[in-house]
Chains A and B, each alone.
Chain A
Amino acid sequence: MSPVLRVDELSVQFRLGTETVHAVRDVSLRVDPGEILAVVGESGSGKTATALSVLQLNPVPPCVYAGGEIRLDDRDLLRLSEKDMRAVRGNDIAMIFQDPMTSLNPLKRVGAQVAEVLHRHQGVSRASARAAVPPALAEAGIANPELRAELYPHQLSGGLRQRVMIAMALIGRPRVLIADEPTTALDVTVQARILDLLVELAQRRDMAVMLITHDLGVVAEVADRVAVMYQGRVVEDGSVSEVFGAPADDYTARLLRATPRLERV
């Protein structure tokens, strides 16, 4: 199967004054349709910078995409104009962020925020975009979607907000979903349900998912393959059972030892 998204030898730098931080160094990754790739690493390992690079959402300046390719099918996203890139965001590739409280605009009804994606990409009127919102919310596991669509983010619980984010990401039927620590900010009991939802939707839609996380438990539970990042590099990449069963890299081994509950896997 050919990957839908391929990152080849990507290098990303942040130039702060005279200092240059090499956030991502020669990183290569690939995700197939229907596959969940977990990218793990400690904070500062470059996993979020890599994820944001796919959509080119790193703040420019100071961010500089110094080298490599990001291929969606045959197109190199790094070579697209900003205008063409906008057509990709939310349409071909969607993203879910860590903190659903701050990731939703506090002053707009959640339904309108979800509808905006359709209005932007499929040229539908705001009214018919709105009509498509309740089914999308329902699919993300939100009860009473018509009522909920009219609420503001602060009126929803954390889990519901993240479901809204998921509905917003998926309403445009993207082929790739990037989820950056989607459950970190949520209650433990809610985390599992959100993960289940993501897995279920990814399978049903044959969607490629790039799941950024620092939680190896999450990886073991949902991912097909895993890439381990350390200091801006991918130090190990393979199927979950391979990597967790027999880590080839010293760092991965240490990481696994530091997570006692993984011994069950």
Chain B
Amino acid sequence: MAELTVRDREGSPGKSAEPRTGAGAGLLRGIATKLGTALIVLFCVATVSFFLVRLSGDPVKLLLPPEATVEQEATLRASLGLDRPLLVQYLDYLAGLPKLDFGTSLFYDQPVAEVLFGRLPATLLLAGAAMVVCLLIAIPAGIIAALRRGRATDSGVMAGVLIGQSTPPFWVGILLILVFAVQFQVLPASGYGTFAHLILPAITLAVYSVAVIARLLRSSLIDVLGSDYIRTARAKGLGPRGVIVGHGLRNASLPVVTVIGLELGSLLGGAILTEQVFSWPGIGRLTVEAITNRDFPLVQASVLFFAAAFVVVNLLVDVSYTLLDPRVRLRS
């Protein structure tokens, strides 16, 4: 055997090798920076929604019937704290935010946080179920389309993707109700509580995301499958499954993960409509009701909630990205 060389024949040992503890510390620092950015974004959202709601008209006038007297208006205004200067109200509102104190709902006469969090489980359940449906369909569809690129299966998947992307979620819901609740009467058209109630809303909400993710996974996988390291994997004697599971999927998932975060906005919008179509007692429906009821503390809090959900998920995406891709270190 050859003697074991102590130094690389290339020279300095491990000059570009990064100590792994350093990587961990960098990750934490990166998360801290991202967290700071997220808080700034949320602060902006809170501020904008506060003034937007107030600049759009006097809520007292909207709350009371037109025949109300000036005295009644003044009493209500005072009891809501709306007679104070705008700046005082704003600071008061900001001061409450860290304590999750969003004021009192005008319609429910309860703390906004309580109302909001009471509806949270339903929305989380719906979003979670939709995510499961989405991944169960989108991942196999994306893989199959990529492997059968240019053939009939691929065209079929891509046609489905285009239709899924183009169909408004609430119409999908209506069609599903028409088929499964009205025509065949196998599933309930609305309501909440049992697994059967969950099926149609979850599918409805998933349709758009299935299209987006299947399409992206397909193109990303096609990119990856054409890369040199896939050729290396094949040169090692790996079969299609070994190549895809061992080398293709994780690499192809990188752009998909990024887009999942950005597409969350559409998913939340879809949730609002889906909840409306199926009378699902979640935050989306609550928000629409709050807007129609002019329940502005509740509207403010809902907007903030949706923005926070978006920011948190994207934060998670950033973190998972660094876990998936060793080349990436979080930088602001």
Contact = CB atoms under 8 A, between A and B. Distances in A.
Partners in one complex: yes
Interface of A: 55, 57, 59, 83, 86-91, 94-95, 97, 99, 102-108, 113, 116-117, 120-121, 138-139, 141-144, 147-148, 150-152, 154-157, 159-160, 163, 165, 168, 190, 193, 197, 200, 204
B229 A120 contact: no
Contact of A141 (B5, B232, B251, B325): B5
A90 B237 contact: yes
B231 A97 contact: yes
B147 to A, nearest CB: 13
B17 A102 contact: no
Contact of B237 (A86, A139, A159): A86
B7 A90 contact: no
Interface stretch (B27-35, B52-60, B189-197, B242-250): B242-250
State the 5 A-B residue pairs at the shortest beta-carbon distance, nearest first.
A90-B236, A89-B237, A102-B228, A90-B237, A159-B10
Contacts, number: 114
11 contacts: A89-B234, A97-B235, A106-B251, A108-B247, A147-B17, A151-B14, A151-B17, A154-B327, A155-B18, A159-B10, A165-B232
A57 B226 CA distance: 11
B228 A116 contact: no
Counting chain B residues whose Cβ lies within 8 A of the other chain, the interface size class is: 35 or more
B235 A143 contact: no
A87 B237 CA distance: 6
B14 A148 contact: yes
Contacts of B324: 107
Interface in B280-332: 324-327
A160 B326 CA distance: 18
Interface in B198-252: 226-229, 231-239, 242, 246-247, 250-251
Given A141-B5, A151-B17, A154-B327, A90 B239 contact: no
A99 B228 contact: yes
B16 interface: yes
Given A89-B234, A107-B326, A155-B18, 6 more contacts: A57-B231, A88-B237, A103-B229, A151-B14, A157-B10, A157-B15
Between B6, B228, B250, the greatest number of chain A beta carbons within 10 A of the residue's beta carbon is seen for B228
Nearest to B242: A120
Contact of B229 (A91, A102, A142, A147): A102
A143 B5 contact: yes
Interface in B1-30: 1-2, 4-10, 13-18, 20
A117 B235 CA distance: 10
Given A143-B13, A157-B15, A160-B8, A200 B234 contact: no
Contact of A120 (B6, B13, B17, B238): B238
Nearest to A59: B226
B235 A141 contact: no
Contacts of A59: 226
Given A97-B228, A120-B242, A157-B16, A193 B235 contact: no
Between A120, A200, A204, the greatest number of chain B beta carbons within 10 A of the residue's beta carbon is seen for A120
A138 B2 CA distance: 9
A104 B237 contact: no
A103 B10 contact: no
B229 A141 contact: no
B232 A104 contact: yes
B326 to A, nearest CB: 4
B11 to A, nearest CB: 9
A190 B233 CA distance: 25
Contact of A116 (B20, B246, B250, B325): B246
Contacts of A160: 8, 10
A90 B246 CA distance: 16
A78 B39 CA distance: 62
A90 to B, nearest CB: 4
A165 B242 CA distance: 19
Contacts of A193: 9-10
A182 to B, nearest CB: 13
Contact of A155 (B2, B17, B231, B236): B17
A147 B236 contact: no
B256 to A, nearest CB: 14
B101 to A, nearest CB: 45
Contacts of B10: 157, 159-160, 163, 190, 193
Contact of A138 (B4, B16, B234): B4
A116 B16 contact: no
Contacts of B228: 97, 99, 102-103
A166 B4 CA distance: 16
Contacts of A142: 8
Nearest to B226: A59
B327 A152 contact: yes
Contacts of B18: 155
Given A97-B228, A117-B237, A200 B16 contact: no
A143 B326 contact: no
Contact of B238 (A86, A94, A102): A86
B127 to A, nearest CB: 29
Contacts of A159: 8-10
B236 A117 contact: yes
A106 B4 CA distance: 27
B229 A94 contact: no
A55 B235 CA distance: 7
A57 B235 contact: yes
A90 B237 CA distance: 6
